[in-house]
Amino acid sequence: MPFACIFVPNFPVAAVFRAEPELRARVVAIFDGKSPLEKVFFVNESAGRMGITPGMTKAQAELCTELTLRPRSPLQESVAHAALLDCAQSFSPCVEDAAADTAILDLAGMESLFGTLPEMARAISRRATSLGLEANVAVASNPDAAALAARGFSGVTMIPPGKEGESLESLPVEVLFADRWEGMEREGKKKEDERKKESARLLATLERWGIRHLRALAALPEVALSERLGQEGLRWQQLARGGASRTLIPVEAPAVFEEAVELEYPIVLLEPLAFLLHRLLEQICARLASRALTTQELRLTLELQNLAGTNPLCETAGISSESDALHSAAQSQLPAQHFVSGRQSKFCRTLRLPLPMLDPKLFLKLLQLDLNAHPPGPPIIKIHLAAEPARPRSAQGGLFLPPSPEPEKLELTLARIAGLVGEARVGSLELLDTYRAEGFRMRRFVPGAISETNRQKASVEEKSAVAALRMFRPPLRAIVTLENGELVRVVCSKKKEMQGSVLWKAGPWRSSGDWWEREAWARDEWDIVLQNADSAVLCRLVHDLLGGSWFVEGSYD
Amino acid sequence: MSSAVVSTSAAQGSPFVFEMEEEVAEVCAQPSGAELFSEGRPPQRVVPAIFSGVFSQDARLAGVTSASRLAVRSSPQMVSSGIAAMDALTGGLPRGCLTEIFGPASSGRTTVLLAAMAAATRRGEFCVVVDASDALDPLSVAAAGVELNRLLWVRCGGNSQQRHFSAVYSADSGTEKKQNVKSEPYHDEHRLEQLLRAADLLLESGGFGLIALDLGDLPPQAVCRIPLTTWFRFRRAVEHTPTVLLAVERQSIAGSCSSLLIQLGTQEHGMKQPADSRFPAPAHAQLLTDLEITAELVQSRLKRKPVRSSGITFASKTAWAG
């Protein structure tokens, strides 16, 4: 039964590289600890060559001018770990979360999907790279041999069945204890220290015996080893021989797709923010793609620097209560919210898409347009992006179907137009169950399939044209001359065409409503023909019975 | 393949390009000008074979098809406008072309527009109306039979000072509040700019069966400022797409860019009143039932023969007329 192990060497450094890929070519050290006792925790290869070693103080490391120092980021490490699990889950449903930097997966039965084992190993390596992780991949007939090979050999390693011992014999004995170091990240600090001490003691013992490679450990007599190191020693020997066998402890990786970046310096402009967002979106989309998922909702949370003098009260920007009342469903974005937690305020935007999509460029453009319309304000110190996973949409195309807008293009176009005319002014219509004037609301335009009943109804309704009304928004205030209670003349100061003598009239048609609410309305309507010098205009005249004013509401056209 | 340019008509001197090698050989075998003179025939300009490849080898002319070889452009597909009489007049609305509908206020432009949109949604297409004056009446749209979830409405004029209808109709509206309203021309230009940019975006997006640009309430002096290049751009963008681009305006503005130009006007307004006309009926006994609309096909670039001005009259009923 084949197993594969994905191991990310120098995991804290790899997590930082994943967030800042431009650092890969530079000399980097990760420091940890409380100031002023910060110490170098991990270094990359080039830093090691320059003599920077873990354990140095930050002050000592800073003497190297070429060195780039970054603080250890548990947030980025957890995100990188999630990406590692996503990578493993994309190849097998049976994945063991062995350590923060190690995932072991059962490849049994996967050949028919992904090809031969070497092809699969290479594909895993490529997938890890696409997720921003430079990982070692090893395939062996048991999980522990695969894990040791992944820790010991860089790149892709294939261990044929039965040759585990020969393949692993050249590895140093330190690889046996590597999992102890990395796997303890999630345990308590005390246990971590205890295990570190235990590992160091055992390594020192083996060093004294002259055991430096697994070959030497495997060749030791079992009884003698057992007498000196106990059952634990025998287990190590089994591992060194590549003969240990166990069942995987599979984990169900949670479908949480979040990416975050903590900024060294606060960002003020939207352009550098877009640069970082693009990176986060690409990572999140790659993770979603690896799990064959898409997203329908993106949540952007920006942690803002709390500047002195800013109002610490919660603010609601953009469309808020009005959007709930009138355009709740019409908007693709929820209200922007500033809320304060402790000393830092947060700015949240939620991007809801009509259909599941997976296009980082599109998402970036939509977020950019949204942030242009609703700028966050204070400098940004942390970016957090989360995607709500959704199943990819399945649609059956047809040769004879009428054309319809592409959802991705349409979404971007609507966002651009919303930026142009206002968010509440683009969408489709929804009539409200009221006789009040302007009894409609705008809602989100989502191209949907026409129902069969509508088609049948439409075919029946193919009839003569219906006279349409053109509205004046806002309605034109009019001065109306009455003679013996009859309309004689109408004058609109704002529109010259809408004035003249009343040639013909029909009405009044009286209506009222909402008298039980504050916004009561009552009005009389006339359809009148206004004769002016140029032409005759047929329009609708309204008398507001509560306010007493006259308005020309629209013209028949 | 080489080519030669020869003149077959000295009077016209118009060159013809032969691309067949056999033809070139035949041309080169023709007698010289002096020989022709001696024979008493009019001289013919014969281009030596050395110049024959000039036009074809010229990089600037590479890929240029001579006018004589241009393919005849196929006529666009016509779709129903939703009004049988209009279809009889124009043959429908052409896809991939700009159609202009113009006329004064109350001439039936919006009626025709809504009928076209209703027909498009009946075909299962998606429509968009870019409304420069925010004048679309949702009740009229629904009454016309437009499927509302297939209609995208872009209401220009946003981001400028707007007053809500209910605020104007409020009980205390007797005293109009003073507002810092900018001048009307500013608003018109603002709306026009929004309309053009939205139209550009929608044409680029594609996928709509009908895109309507409603300029019906903007003053002609503002609309006339739209450069002709904009209309050329629109025409080019909509070309080879299944979209009907419809512009509704007070007077024709797109010039030669429009493939179909329809002028509308109203004859009379239908009024239902008691049969006995000796006594004028009171206003409450009257009812607006229909509008008589006249339509005239002013210009059509879809047919090769020039269009004779022809007109029709049809009635549009009000929603409550039954």
With a cut of 90, say whether residue A542 has pLDDT above it: yes
Q: Are A468 and B137 in contact (CB < 8 Å)?
A: yes
- Point out the least confidently predicted range of A306-315, A498-507, B58-67: A306-315
Class of domain A257-390: alpha beta
Q: Are A447 and B169 in contact (CB < 8 Å)?
A: no
Selected residues 172-201 of chain B with any CB under 8 Å from a CB in chain A: 172-174, 176, 184, 194, 197-198, 201
Q: What local confidence, expressed as pLDDT, does residue B185 receive?
A: 66
Q: Are B168 and A458 in contact (CB < 8 Å)?
A: no
- Nearest CB among B137, B171, B317 relative to A470 is that of B137
Element (H, E) at A165: helix A164-168
Cis peptide before A508 (omega within 30 of 0): yes
- Nearest CB among B140, B198, B290 relative to A469 is that of B140
With a cut of 90, say whether residue A312 has pLDDT above it: no
Q: Are B207 and A403 in contact (CB < 8 Å)?
A: yes
**Residue B238 — very low, low, confident or very high, per pLDDT cuts 50/70/90?**
very high
Q: Could you please report the per-residue DSSP string of A74-99?
A: HHHHHHHHHHHHHHHHTT-S-EEEEE
Q: Are B195 and B183 in contact (CB under 8 A)?
A: no
Cis peptide before A160 (omega within 30 of 0): no
**Residue A311 — very low, low, confident or very high, per pLDDT cuts 50/70/90?**
very low
Does B291 touch chain A if contact means CB atoms closer than 8 Å? yes
**Residue A463 — very low, low, confident or very high, per pLDDT cuts 50/70/90?**
low
Which residues in chain B have Cβ-Cβ distances shorter than 8 Å to A458?
A: 118, 121-122, 145, 147
With a cut of 80, say whether residue B258 has pLDDT above it: yes
User: Mean pLDDT over residues A401-411, rounded?
Assistant: 86
- Nearest CB among B150, B176, B216 relative to A470 is that of B216
Q: What percent of chain A has pLDDT over 70?
A: 88
In a 3-state reduction of DSSP, which class is residue B92? coil
Q: How far is B191 from chain A (nearest CA, A)?
A: 9
Q: Are A466 and B317 in contact (CB < 8 Å)?
A: yes
- Nearest CB among B105, B171, B293 relative to A546 is that of B171
The model's pLDDT over A152-167, given as tens digits with 9 standing for 90+, comes to 999 999 999 888 888 8
With a cut of 60, say whether residue B22 has pLDDT above it: no
- Point out the least confidently predicted range of A78-87, A130-139, A250-259, B44-53: B44-53
Whose CA is closest to A387, among A363, A407, A404, A366?
A363
Q: What local confidence, expressed as pLDDT, does residue B243 receive?
A: 94
**Residue A550 — very low, low, confident or very high, per pLDDT cuts 50/70/90?**
very high
Selected residues 445-464 of chain A with any CB under 8 Å from a CB in chain B: 445-448, 450, 454-455, 458-459, 461-464
Q: Are B152 and A556 in contact (CB < 8 Å)?
A: no
User: Higher model confidence: residue A38 or residue B182?
Assistant: A38
- Point out the least confidently predicted range of A284-293, A342-351, B15-24, B217-226: B15-24
Whose CA is closest to A182, among A81, A286, A318, A332?
A81
Q: What local confidence, expressed as pLDDT, does residue B175 receive?
A: 42
User: Mean pLDDT over residues A339-364, rounded?
Assistant: 82
The model's pLDDT over A169-213, given as tens digits with 9 standing for 90+, comes to 889 888 887 754 444 455 566 777 787 788 888 888 888 989 888
Q: Are A149 and A129 in contact (CB under 8 A)?
A: no
The model's pLDDT over A272-295, given as tens digits with 9 standing for 90+, comes to 999 999 999 999 999 999 889 999
Q: The domain A3-26+66-230 belongs to what CATH superfamily?
A: Reverse transcriptase/Diguanylate cyclase domain (3.30.70.270)
In A256-396, where do the E strands start and end? 257-267, 294-304, 315-317, 336-341, 344-357, 380-390
Q: What local confidence, expressed as pLDDT, does residue B303 receive?
A: 66
Interface contacts (A, B; CB < 8 Å): 276
Element (H, E) at A371: helix A360-373
With a cut of 70, say whether residue B72 has pLDDT above it: no
The Cα B34–Cα B36 span in angstroms is: 5
**Residue B110 — very low, low, confident or very high, per pLDDT cuts 50/70/90?**
very high
User: Mean pLDDT over residues A392-397, rounded?
Assistant: 79
- β A550-556/B4-7 pair status: unpaired
Q: What local confidence, expressed as pLDDT, does residue A94 receive?
A: 92
Q: Could you please report the per-residue DSSP string of B254-287?
A: SGGG-SEEEEEEEEEEEEE--S-TTSPPPGGG-E
The model's pLDDT over A129-159, given as tens digits with 9 standing for 90+, comes to 999 999 999 999 989 999 999 999 999 999 9
With a cut of 60, say whether residue B147 has pLDDT above it: yes
**Residue B38 — very low, low, confident or very high, per pLDDT cuts 50/70/90?**
very low
Cis peptide before B282 (omega within 30 of 0): no
ipTM value: 0.75
Q: What local confidence, expressed as pLDDT, does residue A59 receive?
A: 87
Does B152 touch chain A if contact means CB atoms closer than 8 Å? yes
Q: How far is B141 from chain A (nearest CA, A)?
A: 8
- Nearest CB among B134, B140, B208 relative to A473 is that of B134
User: Mean pLDDT over residues A267-275, rounded?
Assistant: 90
Q: Are A469 and B208 in contact (CB < 8 Å)?
A: no
Which residues partner with B155 through β-bridges? B131
> What mean pLDDT is reported for chain A?
84
Q: What local confidence, expressed as pLDDT, does residue B43 receive?
A: 46
With a cut of 60, say whether residue A58 has pLDDT above it: yes
Indicate the domain borders of chain A. Answer: 3-26+66-230, 257-390, 469-556
With a cut of 50, say whether residue A330 has pLDDT above it: no
Q: How far is B91 from chain A (nearest CA, A)?
A: 17
Q: Are A447 and B142 in contact (CB < 8 Å)?
A: no
The Cα A227–Cα A234 span in angstroms is: 10
The residues, any chain, with a CB within 8 Å of residue A262's CB and separated by 6 or more, are: A73, A75, A76, A381, A382
The model's pLDDT over A360-392, given as tens digits with 9 standing for 90+, comes to 999 999 999 999 888 888 899 999 999 999 999
Does B88 touch chain A if contact means CB atoms closer than 8 Å? no
User: Higher model confidence: residue B303 or residue A65?
Assistant: A65
Q: Are B291 and A467 in contact (CB < 8 Å)?
A: yes
Q: What percent of chain A has pLDDT over 90?
A: 34
The Cα B194–Cα B200 span in angstroms is: 10
Q: What local confidence, expressed as pLDDT, does residue A35 receive?
A: 79
Domains identified in chain B and CATH numbers: 4-69 (no CATH), 78-159+183-317 (3.40.50.300)
The residues, any chain, with a CB within 8 Å of residue A72's CB and separated by 6 or more, are: A12, A30, A31, A32, A41, A42
Q: What local confidence, expressed as pLDDT, does residue B58 receive?
A: 66
In chain B, where do the E strands start and end? 4-7, 15-18, 78-79, 93-94, 97-102, 127-131, 151-155, 210-214, 244-249, 260-272, 287-300, 310-317
Does A230 touch chain B if contact means CB atoms closer than 8 Å? no
Q: Are B152 and A557 in contact (CB < 8 Å)?
A: no
Ramachandran area for residue A55 (φ above 0: left; ψ -120 to 50: alpha; else beta): left
Q: Are B168 and A551 in contact (CB < 8 Å)?
A: yes
Does A534 touch chain B if contact means CB atoms closer than 8 Å? yes
Selected residues 363-402 of chain A with any CB under 8 Å from a CB in chain B: 401-402
Does A547 touch chain B if contact means CB atoms closer than 8 Å? yes
Angle at A342 between CA A341 and CA A347, to 5 degrees: 35
Residue of B nearest to A476 (CA): B168
User: Higher model confidence: residue B285 or residue A13?
Assistant: A13
Does B87 touch chain A if contact means CB atoms closer than 8 Å? no
Which residues in chain B have Cβ-Cβ distances shorter than 8 Å to A413?
A: 201-202, 204-205
Q: What local confidence, expressed as pLDDT, does residue B279 receive?
A: 58
Q: What local confidence, expressed as pLDDT, does residue A200 receive?
A: 82
Does A332 touch chain B if contact means CB atoms closer than 8 Å? no
The model's pLDDT over A473-485, given as tens digits with 9 standing for 90+, comes to 889 999 999 988 8
The tally of CA atoms less than 13 A away on the side-chain side of residue B276 is 3
Does A404 touch chain B if contact means CB atoms closer than 8 Å? yes
Residue A265, Cβ density class (10 Å: 0-12 exposed, 13-18 middle, ≥19 buried): exposed
Inter-CA distances, A62 with A23, A37, A56, B194, Å: 17, 14, 10, 56
Does B7 touch chain A if contact means CB atoms closer than 8 Å? no
Does B318 touch chain A if contact means CB atoms closer than 8 Å? yes
Residue of A nearest to B290 (CA): A467
User: Mean pLDDT over residues A108-128, rounded?
Assistant: 92
Q: What local confidence, expressed as pLDDT, does residue B20 receive?
A: 41
Q: What percent of chain B has pLDDT over 90?
A: 34
With a cut of 50, say whether residue A57 has pLDDT above it: yes
With a cut of 70, say whether residue B174 has pLDDT above it: no
Q: How far is B163 from chain A (nearest CA, A)?
A: 6
